[in-house]
Amino acid sequence: MSNYKPPFHMTDKMTSLIAEISEQVGRITVLQEEAISPHLRRENRIRTIHSSLAIEHNSLSLEQVTAILDGKRVLGNPNEIKEVQNAYEAYELLLRLNPASVDDLLKAHKLMMNGLMPENGRFRSGGVGVFDGEVLIHMAPPAEFVPEHIHNLFAWYQQSELHPLIKSAIFHYEFEFIHPFADGNGRIGRMWHSLLLGKWKELFFWLPVEELIQSRQKEYYDALGAADAQADSAGFVELILEIIKDSLTEVTVVGHNNDQDSDQVTDQVADQDKTPAERLLFALGNDTLPAADLMVRLGLSHKPTFRKNYLNPALEQKLIERTIPDKPNSRNQKYRKHKN
């Protein structure tokens, strides 16, 4: 048995977030087969790949990533295109990977980094640091200790009696601290986190958590750095739980009032096959509403995600329009269907 014990303390906030997440998971699981359709699963997988690579400075748009995975020719940096193709192959293997297997971890890294670096599928042979510009923000443990650290981390996860939501987030942080590979640590760490959660509840295989991590990228890196400085991953765990809660809220069907009838539920489930912009239009109906009310109807709580994925695309596609077009940021701004 491993004596490895990551530095971490439980907080009241974590307990509250676990309760909220568990409630959301239970509600979504009831409609899981319908709510997470094959179309939505593919859409979410593409969003996951795009966001995880964007965090690593891949400049391809979501539309370009979609086109690449549809087999279409895309003009772009060949390495960035290769990153997309590799990530898709790695995520396609996700359901067949064993989260307790170090060999499977190496197999996933080989797929993710094939043709992008010499040491794909192998632990790093040299030292590595994480930099913010020219400032060193984290020096990873020496290479000779990496195999032992990773085996200890895997053993700890299997032995730990902490809630899967907690221990998967701790795993995520510890994996990034060890930085076992010369490159690809971020994308593999986030993927393995999804794998650990997916083995707990299957819907996490299809949840684009990475998209919200990207929208809160500075907070994500700040939380990693603070955990290093404090030798305690509690703050990072809290952030990850908040992100998971917000991701689940996006999956929750529109208008989930307790007094809704079965016809409404059918409409909501069908609505999951629409793009986010189309879902916003559906939620708006013939009403004229402020952004806050639209977020409530969509079941969203994270404003940057709402603006980036829902509001701005709907405006750009001229599905909706502002009631005060000459003052986009007016506190009295409302939105209605576009008058063609």
CATH fold, domain 12-251, is: Fic-like fold (1.10.3290)
Joined tokens for residue 71: 């087999």
- pTM score of the predicted model: 0.74
Contact status, residue 245 vs residue 265, Cβ threshold 8 Å: no
C-alpha to C-alpha distance for 321 and 336, rounded to whole angstroms: 6
- Pairing verdict, β 335-337 and 135-139: unpaired
Q: Which residues contact 282 (CB under 8 A, 6 or more apart)?
A: 254, 271, 274
Task: Report how far Cα 126 is from the mean position of its chain's Cα atoms.
Answer: 30
Residue 289 per-residue DSSP state: B
**Per-domain residue ranges of the chain:** 12-251, 262-337
C-alpha to C-alpha distance for 320 and 277, rounded to whole angstroms: 9
Task: Report how far Cα 72 is from the mean position of its chain's Cα atoms.
Answer: 25
- Pairing verdict, β 335-337 and 320-322: antiparallel
- Pairing verdict, β 129-132 and 135-139: antiparallel
Measured over the CA atoms of residue 119, residue 123, residue 124 and residue 125, the dihedral's sign is negative
C-alpha to C-alpha distance for 337 and 314, rounded to whole angstroms: 10
Other residues' Cβ atoms within 10 Å of the Cβ of residue 74:
16
| Per-residue pLDDT tens digits of the chain, which is 340 residues long | 457 788 889 999 999 999 999 988 888 776 555 555 677 788 889 999 999 999 999 999 999 999 999 999 999 999 999 999 999 999 999 999 999 999 999 999 999 999 999 999 999 999 887 766 677 777 889 999 999 999 999 999 999 999 999 999 999 999 999 999 999 999 999 999 999 999 999 889 888 888 888 888 889 988 998 998 898 999 999 999 999 998 887 765 433 433 333 333 334 433 445 788 888 998 888 889 999 888 878 877 778 888 888 999 999 999 999 999 999 888 889 999 998 7
Task: Report how far Cα 94 is from the mean position of its chain's Cα atoms.
Answer: 15
